[in-house]
Chains A and B, each alone.
Chain A
Amino acid sequence: MAKSKLFTMNEDRSLYPELDDNGKPIVDLSSHKYVKLWQGPQHPGITGNMSLELTVSGDEIVESKTHVGYLHRGFEKLLERRLFVQCMPTSIRLCVAEPDTNEYVISNAIEELGNIEVPEMAQWLRMLSLEMARLQVLLRQVPGQAGTFALGLGYQWGSYIRDLILDSFEELTGGRVYHMYIIPGGVRGLLPDGFKARLLEKLKLIDEFIPKIDKLIFNNVVFESRARGLGYIPKEWVDEYGVYGPAARGSGIMRDVRKTNPYLKYDQLDFEPFVTTEGDVYARTEVRRADLIMTVDLIRQILDKMPEKGDIKAETPNVLHWKIPKGETYSKCEASRGEYGMYFVTDGSKFPRRVNLKGPSYTHANALLDKLLINANISDTAAIMVSLATCPPEIER
């Protein structure tokens, strides 16, 4: 397994546990050679509360177990008690960092089962909102990756620009974090006057931001020596462990729902997701940097190709009496972390029968993270977690 340059593995393996046939260390806690160390639930290096039960030998992790459930609210149960329109404000709180994808997957599922055709203008506006959401996440995440190596300056810059994007959201939807812009049938409103020009002005700031973080992060010798070779995901694991999105693209496998199953109007846009083959933390950060550039480009394309006016909402039945015939579907889209899907079952009543959300973190943070952390240094834990973009609220819902 490739290792980080800065923290090389100790050559003398006699102090460390022996490996069994599957490459898993045999740990005997009663031998007093190992220490149990809990990372979390509170930890500034992760995007939510989750804890890792680490067994360490020296400063090397020999065993890791993920514990989730600190943010469990029972969404799937709560949605069974909500009307379809009432599902919206509840379901967007499923994943806090990027709520728009929740709006989209649940609206799309309701439309698919309720046979509603979304007007073209609404589809463009949805796409704009989804890409803006991806942009604000990436603005935190690319510099945040360097933040896990204690390089916090990029994060400060990124957060400032992210705030300007949130201002744009506020202008468009009225909400800063939770927008509820996408609703079943369409969207809530047209672009405000002069919105395009103001957004394009902000995108210019990001063009200037990229060379800055290149200098600060990607050309930084500390970042490079720590991130290269760290948290290596081989190509073969992508299917086996369920790796999605940027993490899979960092390992040389193309996974992007926008390209493979084009939804909305993504087939009319010109884009090519970045793929690299190294499979380490550095590669995943590079993929996210390329995504950031691509997202800016996509927003420009959307603003350029979008029609000026049009219907923004299809006619839906009275929302208080809306019954959807029995059926089931899986609606998915590409979040900044990877494929984001929702399994939605209706039974002909006014309420959903069963909603199951599946985000990429579910597979990233469980079996894959446990495997990646073996033989890693304690100080690299946060970096590996952030590079997989683990978002605990979507694991436990």
Chain B
Amino acid sequence: MEEDKKDKFLAPENEIRQVTAPDGSIIEVNPLEDYFSQDRPKPYKVRKGPVEDFLNWARAESLWVLGFGTGCGSIEIPPLVTPRFDMYRFGIQMRATPRQSNVFVISGYLSVKTLKRAIRAYEQMPSPKYVVGLGSCTINGGMYYDSYNTINRLDHYLPVDAYIAGCMPRPEALLAGFEGLKKLIKAGKGHKANEYVENLDWYKANQKKIIKDWNMPDYNW
């Protein structure tokens, strides 16, 4: 992080400060370095043969979706969890925290402000994890291709496993998309999280190009 940006955007609680320890000595604390891990993420091990097949089957049949509706596509999520379309029967359910979920549905356009939160939430999810881009906005910007505040291509910022096209996609399309994701995972093609880790520098450069007030650690463990 550059020095001048640090002053401008750093939240007051993250500033370097002096703290008095219980024994009376004075310690300097830099929250971004001391409170957050600075380690780079490592790719997880992809096994081979029947073990991997079994793991993939288990991963595919329990898609836990993070309940973070990022855009207007989130209006079609409630019908999915209610009796008419009921996605529980496919082993898909909504979770409230990124630590418990392995699917991130980017439901529609992402404004720059939300993208920052989405990256944070994505990085906090345990691997293997999958991203589903919902709606035309995540593919090429869709209706907002010329907007100054929404991104055009999601795959430049997060690794996308599956797209569901439409504006807005129907609940049936969402279910079909999840089925497609399951097939991908079972075929052993669901390791985009590793790609993200391997190409971390490229993704981070893209992310930092538009998130001007980068005031968090490089990788949010």
On A, residues with C-beta under 8 Å from B are: 41-42, 44, 48-49, 69-74, 77-78, 81, 89-90, 93, 96-97, 140, 155-156, 159-160, 162-163, 176-178, 393
Contact = CB atoms under 8 A, between A and B. Distances in A.
B67 A71 contact: no
Contacts of A162: 79
Given A44-B67, A71-B114, A156-B83, A178 B168 contact: yes
Given A42-B69, A42-B117, A177 B76 contact: yes
Given A73-B149, A78-B144, A163-B84, A42 B68 contact: yes
Given A71-B111, A159-B84, A177-B75, A81 B146 contact: yes
Given A49-B70, A163-B84, A41 B147 contact: no
B121 interface: yes
B114 A70 contact: yes
Given A90-B143, A96-B72, A163-B84, A49 B114 contact: yes
B148 interface: yes
B42 to A, nearest CB: 27
A90 B121 CA distance: 29
Given A159-B78, A393-B72, A72 B113 contact: yes
Nearest to A396: B111
Interface string B59-80: 0000000111111101110110
Contacts of A177: 75-76, 168
Interface-central residue, A42, A49, A178, by most chain B CB under 10 Å: A42
25 contacts: A42-B117, A44-B67, A44-B96, A48-B69, A48-B74, A49-B70, A49-B114, A70-B117, A71-B71, A71-B111, A72-B149, A73-B111, A74-B150, A78-B146, A140-B78, A155-B82, A156-B83, A159-B82, A159-B83, A163-B82, A176-B168, A177-B76, A178-B167, A178-B168, A393-B72
Given A44-B96, A159-B82, A159-B84, A93 B72 contact: yes
Contacts of A78: 144, 146-147
A151 B70 CA distance: 25
A263 to B, nearest CB: 26
B109 interface: yes
B170 interface: yes
Contacts of B114: 41, 49, 70-71
B111 A72 contact: yes
A73 B109 contact: yes
A77 B96 contact: no
Nearest to B80: A159
Contacts of A70: 70, 111, 113-114, 117
A334 B94 CA distance: 34
A160 B149 contact: no
Contacts of A178: 167-168
Nearest to B142: A93
B143 A89 contact: yes
Contacts of B76: 177
Nearest to A67: B113
Contacts of A160: 82-84
B69 A69 contact: no
B75 A96 contact: yes
A93 B96 CA distance: 26
Given A42-B68, A42-B69, A78-B144, A69 B113 contact: yes
Interface in B139-197: 143-144, 146-150, 167-168, 170
A159 B79 contact: yes
A69 B111 contact: yes
Contacts of B83: 156, 159-160
Nearest to A89: B143
B148 A77 contact: yes
A162 B109 CA distance: 25
Contacts of B84: 159-160, 163
Contacts of B69: 42, 48-49
Given A42-B68, A78-B144, A73 B82 contact: no
Given A42-B69, A49-B70, A96-B72, A176 B170 contact: yes
